[in-house]
Structure 1
Amino acid sequence: MERNLAAVRVRIADACTSVGRSPDEVTLTVVTKFFPASDVRLLAGLGVTDVGENRHQEAEAKAAETRDLGLRWHFVGTLQSNKAAAVARYADVVESVDRAKLLTGLARGAAERGAELDCLVQVSLDPPGAGEGRAGVEPDGVLDLAERVAGTGGLRLRGVMGVAPLGGDPAAAFARLAEVAADVRRLDPEATWVSAGMSADLEEAVRAGATHVRIGSAVLGRRPTIK
C-alpha cells in the first residue's frame, strides 16, 4: 500500500509538472470500497486525509469506526433521495449531487450534524445519445442545479465532479468538464473544486485542471469480492 500510494503521488506530481501546476493543488481521495476499516487506518498513517466511499451502509460504518482519525469523508456514489439525510450526517463532502430532489435531505442531515456540507454537482460526460451511462446532470442543467445548491441553507457549493465515459476519450471528457467548471465559478467564485480522474485516467484529469482525484485500485489493489 505504501509503495502504491507513493507511485500514485508521483503520477500526480508528474502530470502537474507537465502543465505547470503544483502538486499541492491536487487532493488525493482514496476510495476504499469493499476494503476494511483497518485499511483506512493504514492509509491515515501514511498521510491520507481524504477517503471516499460510494455505498451508504459501508461508508456509514467505516466513518463511525474511524471517527478518531479526523479524516474527510467523501460520498462519491449514486445517492438515493431517501438516504440523503443519513449520508449528510457523516460525510464531509457529497460529490454526486445530480438532482434537486436530494437537497432537502442533505440540508436536513447537515443541520442535524451541525456542520455545513460541501457539495459537488455531478456532471454527465457521456456523449449525446449514448444511452444508459454514467450518472450526472446534463451540462446544460448544471448551472440551475448549482444555483439551487448554493441557495440551500447548510449546503456549500464547492464545484463539480465528473467521470469519464466508458470507452471514450477521457481527455476530451475532462476538457468539457473544465468548461462547465468555469461556468460554475462565474456563478460562485468560491466553487473551485473539480473532482475528476480515477486510477486509469488521473493524468488526463490533472492536465485538464482537476483539483481532486478519486483513486481506488491503484492504491489498494484489486477490490475483494463481496458476496
Structure 2
Amino acid sequence: MTTPPTDVRRAQLTEGLGAVRARIAEACRSAGRDPAEVGLTVVTKYFPASDVALLAELGVRDVGENKHQEAADKRPAVAQLRGADDLRWHFIGGLQSNKTAAVARWADVVESVDRTKLVSRLATGAAERDAPLDVLVQVSLDAPGAQGRAGADPDDVPALTAAIAGAESLRLRGVMGVAPLGEDPAGAFTRLAEVAEAVRRDHPGATWVSAGMSGDLEQAVAAGATHVRVGSAVLGPRPVIK
C-alpha cells in the first residue's frame, strides 16, 4: 500500500474523524446521553506509525492494537515521530498465554482478558510498570452453545473480575464485548449492559463498557457503551499485509 503525502493523509483522517465524531454525537442525542460520556478508541492495526502520529495531532488520545509485536514496535516509533508518548494504547486482540506478560509492559489498557489463568501473567508484566494496568474483561455475547467471538462466558465473569480486582498491579475498569456476526447487535449489547451492571454491583469503580465498532457504534451507544472502538470508518480500508 502506497502511503499518501502527509497533507493528503491528514485531510483524509480529519474527514474520517469528523464523520465518526458526528455519528457518536447523534447516537448520544438519540439516546439522551451527553457525547462527553463516550470515548473514541481508534483501532490502528496494520496502519503505520505516521498515521497514529497524525491522529494524535488531530486530538485522538486512545488508539487500539490487535497484534502484540506490531504494537510493541509501533509505540516507540510514534513517540519518536512526535517527540512525546502521551497516547493511551489499548490492546484489544486475543491474548496468548506466552505473550500476556509482554503485552502488559507496553499497553496502557488491556481489553481482552477472557480467562482467569491470564490474570497472574498479566499481573507479573504489569508489576514492572509505574502504575496499575487498566483491564477490561471481554465477555462472550454469543447465544448459549454458539461458537463465535472470543470472550468469557457471562457465568464466569464474577470469578474473573474478582481475580483481576485482587491483583495489586491491575485495575479492573469494566467489560468489553463484540457483537456476534449475523446477529442484531442491539440485543448483544443489551446482554453486555446487563453483565456490566452486575460487575458494577460488586466493583463500583468498574464503569467502562467498551462496545461498538464502525458498523454498530450507534447500537452500542444506545445500550450504554462508554467507549467505542473504530478503525475503518476513521482510517479507511485496512492495508493488505503480505
Normalising by the residue count of structure 1, what TM-score does the alignment of the two structures yield? 0.98
1:214 aligns with 2:226: no
Letter of the structure 2 residue corresponding to residue 41 of structure 1 = A
> 1:175 maps to what in 2?
190
The 5 Å alignment of 1:157-168 reads 157-168=172-183
Structure 2 CA distance for aligned equivalents of residues 168 and 96 of structure 1: 21
- List runs of 5+ in structure 2 lacking aligned partners: 1-12
Letter of the structure 2 residue corresponding to residue 201 of structure 1 = D
> 1:22 maps to what in 2?
34
Shift of 1:129: 2.1
Which digits, 9 at most, give the CA deviation of each residue in 1:193-212, with x for residues without a partner? Answer: 00000000000000100000
Residue 181 of structure 1 contacts residue 194 of structure 1 at CA under 8 Å; is this kept in 2? Answer: yes
Shift of 1:104: 1.4
Q: Give the SS at the match of 2:106.
A: coil
Which digits, 9 at most, give the CA deviation of each residue in 1:56-87, with x for residues without a partner? Answer: 00011111212324000000000011111111
Q: Give the SS at the match of 1:112.
A: coil
Q: Give the SS at the match of 1:8.
A: helix
Structure 1 CA distance for aligned equivalents of residues 67 and 180 of structure 2: 21
Residue 44 of structure 1 contacts residue 69 of structure 1 at CA under 8 Å; is this kept in 2? Answer: no
User: Percent identity over the alignment?
Assistant: 70
Runs of 4+ in 1 over 3 A off after TM superposition: none
Structure 2 CA distance for aligned equivalents of residues 69 and 155 of structure 1: 21
Question: Number of aligned pairs?
Answer: 226
Shift of 1:101: 1.2
Shift of 1:140: 0.9
1:109 aligns with 2:130: no
* Bigger CA radius of gyration: 2
> 1:40 maps to what in 2?
52
Normalising by the residue count of structure 2, what TM-score does the alignment of the two structures yield? 0.92
What's the RMSD between the two structures over aligned residues?
0.8
1:98 aligns with 2:114: yes
- List runs of 5+ in structure 1 lacking aligned partners: none
The 5 Å alignment of 1:18-167 reads 18-67=30-79, 68-131=84-147, 133-167=148-182
Structure 1 CA distance for aligned equivalents of residues 161 and 219 of structure 2: 25
Which digits, 9 at most, give the CA deviation of each residue in 1:31-65, with x for residues without a partner? Answer: 00110000000000000000000100001111121
Once the two structures are overlaid, the 10-residue window that deviates more, 207-216 or 96-105, is 96-105
Shift of 1:130: 1.6
Once the two structures are overlaid, the 10-residue window that deviates more, 60-69 or 49-58, is 60-69
Residue 12 of structure 1 contacts residue 203 of structure 1 at CA under 8 Å; is this kept in 2? Answer: yes
> 1:199 maps to what in 2?
214
